[in-house]
Amino acid sequence: MKNYILSIDQGTTSCRAIIFDKSGKTLGVGQMEFQQIFPKPSWVEHNPSEILAKQIECIKDAVKNAGIKAEEIACVGVTNQRETTVVWEKATGKPIYNAIVWQCRRTKDFADSLKEKMELFRLKTGLVPDAYFSGPKIRWILDNVPGARARAEKGELCFGTIDTWLIWNLTKEKNHATEGSNASRTMLFNINTMEWDDELLALIDVPKAVLPKVLPSNADFGTTNKELLGFEAPILANLGDQQAALFGQCCLDEGMAKCTYGTGSFLLANIGAKPRLAKGLLTTVGWQLAGKAPAYAFEGAIFIAGAAIQWLRDGLAIIESSTESEALAKSLPSNEGVYFVPALVGLGSPWWNSDVRGTIVGITRGTTRAHLVRAALEAMAYQVADVAEDMKANGISIKELRVDGGATKNEFLVQFQADVLKVPVLRASNVESTAWGVAALAGMTAGLIKDEAELDSLWQKDLKLSPAEDKAEQYGGWQAALKAAFACAEAQTPCKEKACSKS
């Protein structure tokens, strides 16, 4: 009997593979970290061949650890770090350059030059022109690898986000394909027509010949290559990681929202079948199932969340582990006026300002490491509240927030988030919302999970914290700290676009 679902979860710092049964129980996991390459300040690359090799090993490990036979895998789902860009040779499968990672800022100047066309990009793609997205990264590779542009125009090169790279390599058909949730992060894809857009391709100067086919998120993406993986099973789902988590958290109806707290935080709310724009937020494709209208989402992309705790640990060395942060924060009765705006790489949603830098305010002689730790945790909650405010102003009023991700182990954070948002916060008992989301979609496509109602019945929480204290005053303090951070950036970059203005 083929009863199991393999989830391939290719993240920013590690490759993972998980075997689930159809109730969402994890049977086995394989996980491997891979190299982060920093050729220059603010440049970030990955080696696509290393990612592929480690992903294959993880899949084998997951099967072994689950104690199942590989032939018992009914279907496969793929979820991935989004926006990260690979270009490879069609004939040999060799990447012509390292993968340019979503965090990489090398295309900032070009992306800034596109801000003149802000309205066009907003309307067609739901995005704000930014170095974060794939289109400018493809352009950079074609312009900087000798001969690449001419070869791309002749159809000799393929572009893919990591889902596409893995599907091309792992399927025996070598399918060159993606789907809407990943395509909608390129600045090249029209989310209204659900097609690559010629006008945007011309603006960013990307030849159409390099682009993958865009299939429904639950299409048949091909059959796994037995020689590589030891089994043949159809890949029946593909979603970018944040959209997979939205699906895994069963935010299937308009107005439902989830936030994943990892390196960064990503708050996504389902906005239904019609795309619309919200100031300061991205509009993105949640998923598009075969024969159905797409589901769209508002997204707040917050670049630094748990990474601020990492910085306190690895950069300042004032804590030994991220776990310690909870007790330290709770050791204080309040933040005592100390705020930390963790704009370590500028700020994403809702500000989209790359010039602003990390700012700590309110320090006194009595300030200790506990204050900085608490301020970093509080900042995670305030940043999410900033995004939720914009959602509210645009008709999506979050009634409860479903949360997941490594930092939600921290109950101080979860409670503080409930207090600041003034809504209950529910932590999913399946901590693997992302991996499960795409596995669940593959399982539904294969018929292992009957329908959305069955999927919904599988969702469970292990923690629900309701608002307990009024944090309006503290939230006001955060907004003042943000102003200070923006004022500082503005004073240093007088010629640039005015800081502190939402896009």
Partner residues linked to 335 by β-bridges: none
Asked whether position 323 contacts ligand ADP by CB under 6 A, the answer is yes
Asked whether position 280 contacts ligand ADP by CB under 6 A, the answer is no
Residue 469 near residue 483, CB atoms below 8 Å: no
Asked whether position 161 contacts ligand ADP by CB under 6 A, the answer is no
Residue 406 near residue 323, CB atoms below 8 Å: no
Asked whether position 330 contacts ligand ADP by CB under 6 A, the answer is no
For residues 13 and 460, which CB has a smaller minimum distance to ligand ADP in the complex?
13
CB of 294 to ligand ADP, least distance (A): 26
Q: Using alpha carbons only, give the angle 50, 436, 408 rounded to the nearest 5 degrees.
A: 90
Asked whether position 307 contacts ligand ADP by CB under 6 A, the answer is yes
For residues 21 and 324, which CB has a smaller minimum distance to ligand ADP in the complex?
324
**Whose CA is closest to 81, among 132, 37, 130?**
132
**Whose CA is closest to 77, among 387, 423, 435?**
435
Joined together, the tokens standing for residue 154 give: 């002749």
CB of 255 to ligand ADP, least distance (A): 25
Count of residues binding ligand ADP (CB under 6 A)? 17
CB of 169 to ligand ADP, least distance (A): 23
For residues 39 and 315, which CB has a smaller minimum distance to ligand ADP in the complex?
315
Residue environment code for 14-36, b if the CB has 16+ CB neighbours within 10 A, otherwise e: ebbbbbbbbebebbbbbbbebee
Joined together, the tokens standing for residue 417 give: 């988030």
Q: In what order do the strands lie in the sheet with 157-161?
A: 45-46, 99-100, 85-89, 157-161
CB of 324 to ligand ADP, least distance (A): 8
Q: Looking at 17-25, 291-299, 305-313, 459-467, which segment touches ligand ADP (CB under 6 A)? A: 305-313
For residues 362 to 401, the per-residue mask of contacts with ligand ADP, x marking binding by CB under 6 A and - elsewhere, is: ----------------------------------------
255: CB partners within 8 A, 6+ apart: 269, 270, 396, 397, 398, 399
CB of 34 to ligand ADP, least distance (A): 12
Asked whether position 425 contacts ligand ADP by CB under 6 A, the answer is no
* Residue with tokens 């979609």, as numbered in its chain: 441
Asked whether position 248 contacts ligand ADP by CB under 6 A, the answer is no
Going by the DSSP 8-state scheme, the letter that residue 72 receives in this structure is G
Q: Work out which of 13, 144, 466, 479 binds ligand ADP, going by CB under 6 A.
A: 13
Asked whether position 11 contacts ligand ADP by CB under 6 A, the answer is yes
Asked whether position 326 contacts ligand ADP by CB under 6 A, the answer is yes
Q: Looking at 49-57, 157-165, 323-331, 458-466, which segment touches ligand ADP (CB under 6 A)? A: 323-331
For residues 347 and 503, what is the distance between their CA atoms, to the nearest angstrom?
Answer: 12
For residues 455 and 301, what is the distance between their CA atoms, to the nearest angstrom?
Answer: 26
Asked whether position 322 contacts ligand ADP by CB under 6 A, the answer is yes
CB of 398 to ligand ADP, least distance (A): 21
Q: What is the CA radius of gyration of the chain?
A: 22
CB of 321 to ligand ADP, least distance (A): 8
Partner residues linked to 238 by β-bridges: 78
For residues 170 to 209, the per-residue mask of contacts with ligand ADP, x marking binding by CB under 6 A and - elsewhere, is: ----------------------------------------
Residue closest to ligand ADP (Cβ): 406
Helix 433-446 and helix 241-248, axial crossing angle in degrees, nearest 10: 70
Give the footprint of ligand ADP on this chain (CB under 6 A).
11, 13, 262-263, 306-307, 309-310, 322-323, 325-326, 405-407, 409-410
